[in-house]
Amino acid sequence: MRLPALVGLIAACSFPTKSPGATDGRMIDGAGSDGGMIDAMIDAAKDGPPPPCITISGTVTALDATGVGSAVPGTQITLFDSVNDANLGSTNADGSGNFALSIATNGAPVNVYLEAFGSAFMETFAWPPGPLSADDTGVTVEMTTTTTLASFANLCGASQDASHGTVIVEAIHDNAPIGGAKITSSPLAGGSCADPFMAGVTALFDVPPGLVTVEATGSGTFVQHTVNALAGTLTLTQIVEE
């Protein structure tokens, strides 16, 4: 199982049209081994206030049971404020699955998450491990179907109730995935499974819907944070080791 790449950015504040019919205001996925989201956070800490605007850009792919991904053109990508769920803008992936969204920073880090919506796939959300303050590109958003996710859960010896959510977490240190961390959530997931092929990636199945704190223990100290796990959706995020 792969973990989709996290939110990335590039500057230019020409805003996409907000989508008046954008679902109920939540979710998309993202989290890649390139540490793009982490780069955006670290760069801001070193360079001072963020630029006037930042842009999230990348590619949407579909992940099947064999782990093979293919581009998903036309996917609706929406950016939300993670504090109040305000719709900050929406766009559709082009014929190659590529997308880009810009947001004004007003001189301060922004708390946001993404939603990817396509009729053939699970609604997917990507939550960064903290506020964003710098541009990043090359995000890979990986979506999947309920059937494929059920297969993953079955391989892990877990179950996935349709009234609960699924959260996939990647543990990161110095912009790279790390193995050996025990990833949990509060409230607790019904089951969990560490990816045997991708270091640092853990799937949390049957997560009670609502606000969920992502936690980890290991050789270092991890910075816990909160995401919103909605029923019947897939949420992706990272957790950072200090």
Q: What is the pLDDT of residues 84-143, one digit of tens each?
A: 999 999 999 999 999 999 999 999 999 999 999 998 899 999 898 888 888 767 677 889
CA 112, CA 114: separation in Å to the nearest integer?
Answer: 7
Helix locations, 95-220, DSSP H = 146-155
**pLDDT value at residue 56:** 82
Question: Residue 2: pLDDT above 70?
Answer: no
**In 10 A of CB 218, how many CB atoms?**
17
Amino acid found at 202: T
* Tokens of residue 127, six digits: 């939550």
Q: How confident is the model at residue 47 (pLDDT cuts 50, 70, 90)?
A: low
Contacts of 187 (CB under 8 A, 6+ apart): 207, 208, 212
β-bridge mates for residue 157, sequence order: none
Question: How confident is the prediction for the chain on average, in pLDDT?
Answer: 80
Whether the CB-CB separation of 1 and 29 falls below 8 Å is answered with no
Question: Residue 65: pLDDT above 70?
Answer: no
Amino acid found at 101: L
**pLDDT value at residue 41:** 45
**pLDDT value at residue 235:** 94
At the top level of CATH, which class does the domain 36-241 belong to? mainly beta
**pLDDT value at residue 38:** 46
E strands, the chain, are: 53-63, 69-71, 76-81, 87-92, 98-104, 112-117, 124-127, 136-143, 165-173, 176-177, 182-186, 191-194, 201-207, 210-217, 222-223, 225-229, 234-241
Q: For 187-241, what is each residue's pLDDT tens digit?
A: 999 999 998 778 899 999 999 999 999 999 998 999 999 999 999 999 989 999 9
% of the chain beyond a pLDDT of 70: 78
CA 4, CA 169: separation in Å to the nearest integer?
Answer: 10
Domains of the chain: which residue ranges?
A: 36-241
**pLDDT value at residue 11:** 25
**pLDDT value at residue 86:** 95
Average pLDDT over residues 147-169: 92
**pLDDT value at residue 66:** 59
